[in-house]
Structure 1
Amino acid sequence: MAFNVIKPGILALVQDLGRHGYQHLGVTTGGPMDELAFRWANALLDNNENAAQIEITFGMLTLEAQAATSIALTGADLGATLNGCTIYPWQTYAVKKGDVLSFKQANYGLRAYLAVKGGLQVAPVLGSCATVLREKLGGVRGNGEKLQQGDIIPYQATHTHRSRSVPRLAIPDYTSLDIPLVMGYQSNYFSGLDRANFFGSEFKITPQSDRMGYRLNGRPILSNQQGIVSEGIAYGAVQIPNDGQPIVLLRDRQTIGGYPKMGCVTGFGGGLLAQKKPGDSLRFQSVSIDQAEQKRHLDLARIAQWR
């Protein structure tokens, strides 16, 4: 009663909603890069919202089911097939013993989420099975490794299946260039011109981007502070180092940092950003805390109402 990993792909990780309550010890949260897609995958199967899934980045993953179950796919379209037949994200599928599930390359987006009925049965480390490679925590073996060929990922078998799909209005537009950001108190460290350049320019995602943070390249944004006293780092914080090129800190971020910050991208904005690849462009869109909270409440309310 498990998935057998035939091909591990480029980067496939077991994730839940993250490891909370340990940042004071220097342990980051981890968790899904696209939280909304993760939550919808569990909702489609009536799973607990924190049930473990596989986050598939770039694709090239092949799994063989060793027992019948029901699965849900959300997030990016990575050219998934079930026994050679094309399947699409944002809906559920029945899987039988011996079925082969494969992911190719991205048609759109970057990260897909594979949930199984009842969740993957992976032992937690510090209260979570979220995989953080840098900290060697979580995952199938608890040591932070990505999925490897021959790995066995247990789940509870079921012959019950319901065909379901996410309402079209609830599916994010991964082609959008606009990433919502709430300005922080350190935005005063930047001149009015630099703030205008920050929101009026397009930035490109560099190849030096990963789950820890996205490094951007564009018109330099200069601060009148060369550095600050190191402080705690929130999810989505946009640091501006001395070269003026923004860094958006994401799920596997360090817990403290000492560069001035323009603000934080929202949870929804971070999910949109996580679906972009190196070379893609983006713009920052200033939103208020109220607007960000309203958007999050709307997304969560949609899921709760749908459930």
Structure 2
Amino acid sequence: MAFKVINPGLISVIQDFGRYGYQHIGVTTGGPMDEHAFLWANRLLDNAFDAAQLEITIGMLQLEVQQPTVIAMTGADLGATINGLAVRPWQSYPVNQGDQIAFNRPKTGLRAYLAVKGGLQITQQLGSAATVVRERIGGLQANGKKLATGDVLPYPIMSPSVVQPFVSKRVPEQFIPDYSAPLILGVILGYQCNSFAQAEIQKFFSNKYEITQDIDRMGYRLTGEPVNSLLEGIISEGISYGAIQIPKDGQPIVLLRDRQTIGGYPKIGCVTTLDAARLSQRGPGTKIRFAIKDIHQAEAERMIYNRFFGIQSKR
């Protein structure tokens, strides 16, 4: 059946694992900002790793359940409740017809994920249901719009035996991130790193940077000690997820899921995919550091991670 949207909240969108293979025609990937939380939500329900679910930023979403099913919540603690009773993130729950699921304001983190058994049944565009508002693609109506009051989000009908009796699953504690812990992001040096003097590179990796108010699904602007390149600009080229652009003011920009597909600022490096997900849960005022990451180590960690979650390449 479906969830009915009573209150869409501030920024609630449908996401799956992303839209790959189309950056050459200017279509970005989209997908979950916090890949770790997204994958665990599907794993708790034995869903396919890329099953569509909801990404709830900041909170205030309210849904009405129209058919019994099982859900999982992961990511930020947005003070979620079921029928007014507080529930913990990183856990699965049964819900019945008429139940009210609500999210409040952030306690820790910025983005929560709500998955349903079998995944949301959303029509795909270019192989994905991922919502990219700027490109007007994906989502419930295939137009890139955020959720709206009255929207109906379909999911598979579950056999009563799946819902009752029910044993809740919870993510093991060692896999639940602490969104208040100090954040050091691993960086693989990029194509233009040689255009930065050694002193500038040392400055970048030895100083703290603060997340500004200018953050969204496209990227995070940071402020701190300016870093200067010997280049004023470059011929526009493709941009990877996690790329760190250094514009003329020397203040880094970390580009994320809804980034533009090409750009002409020098890039000092690229935040690893696993660390970019960690960044997405931090808000303005958070202090972060960068550390050089060996590309072979990053690749090995990613391979282990993909095997654990059963990720199959969409690239």
TM class, shorter-chain normalised? over 0.9
Alignment of 1:148-167 (within 5 A): 148-158=148-158, 159=160, 160-161=162-163, 162-167=167-172
Aligned letter for 1:206?
A: T
Partner of 2:174: 169
Partner of 1:127: 127
Q: Secondary structure at the match of 1:185?
A: coil
Aligned letter for 1:63?
A: L
Partner of 1:49: 49
Any unmatched runs of 5+ in structure 2?
311-315
Tell me if structure 2 keeps the 8 A contact 1:15–1:130. yes
Indicate the RMSD between aligned Cα atoms, in angstroms: 1.3
Question: Per-residue CA shift, 1:182-224, capped at 9, x if unaligned?
Answer: 1113111111111111111111111111101111111100011
Any unmatched runs of 5+ in structure 1?
none
- 1:289 correspondence with 2:289: no
Equivalent in 186, 193, 203 of residue 197 of structure 1: 203
Whole-Å separation in 2 of the counterparts to 1:32 and 1:299: 16
Aligned letter for 1:106?
A: P
Partner of 1:88: 88
Shift of 1:247: 0.5
Partner of 2:186: 180
Partner of 1:78: 78
Whole-Å separation in 1 of the counterparts to 2:84 and 2:305: 33
Aligned letter for 1:58?
A: I
Tell me if structure 2 keeps the 8 A contact 1:212–1:252. yes
Partner of 2:283: 277
Aligned letter for 1:15?
A: Q
Number of aligned residue pairs: 305
Whole-Å separation in 1 of the counterparts to 2:243 and 2:93: 37
- 1:218 correspondence with 2:224: yes
Question: Per-residue CA shift, 1:257-304, capped at 9, x if unaligned?
Answer: 111101111111110110011221111121111221232233334445
TM-score by length of 2: 0.94
Question: Per-residue CA shift, 1:71-105, capped at 9, x if unaligned?
Answer: 01111111101111111111100011100000001
Aligned letter for 2:190?
A: G
Whole-Å separation in 2 of the counterparts to 1:250 and 1:77: 22
Whole-Å separation in 2 of the counterparts to 1:125 and 1:276: 30
Whole-Å separation in 2 of the counterparts to 1:30 and 1:23: 11
Q: Secondary structure at the match of 1:295?
A: helix
Tell me if structure 2 keeps the 8 A contact 1:19–1:30. yes
Whole-Å separation in 2 of the counterparts to 1:209 and 1:127: 27
Whole-Å separation in 2 of the counterparts to 1:303 and 1:167: 14
Aligned letter for 2:49?
A: E
Tell me if structure 2 keeps the 8 A contact 1:69–1:117. yes
Aligned letter for 1:103?
A: F
* Range 19-28 or range 153-162, more displaced: 153-162
Tell me if structure 2 keeps the 8 A contact 1:8–1:149. yes
Shift of 1:134: 0.2
Partner of 1:12: 12
Equivalent in 238, 244, 248 of residue 242 of structure 1: 248
Q: Secondary structure at the match of 1:208?
A: strand
Whole-Å separation in 2 of the counterparts to 1:230 and 1:303: 35
* Range 31-40 or range 153-162, more displaced: 153-162
Pair 262,248 (structure 1): closer, same or farther in 2 beyond 3 Å: same
Partner of 1:141: 141
Whole-Å separation in 1 of the counterparts to 2:273 and 2:58: 21
Whole-Å separation in 1 of the counterparts to 2:57 and 2:2: 21
Could you tell me the percent identity over the aligned residues?
Answer: 56
- 1:260 correspondence with 2:250: no
Whole-Å separation in 1 of the counterparts to 2:292 and 2:48: 33
Partner of 2:62: 62
Tell me if structure 2 keeps the 8 A contact 1:170–1:302. no
Aligned letter for 2:138?
A: G
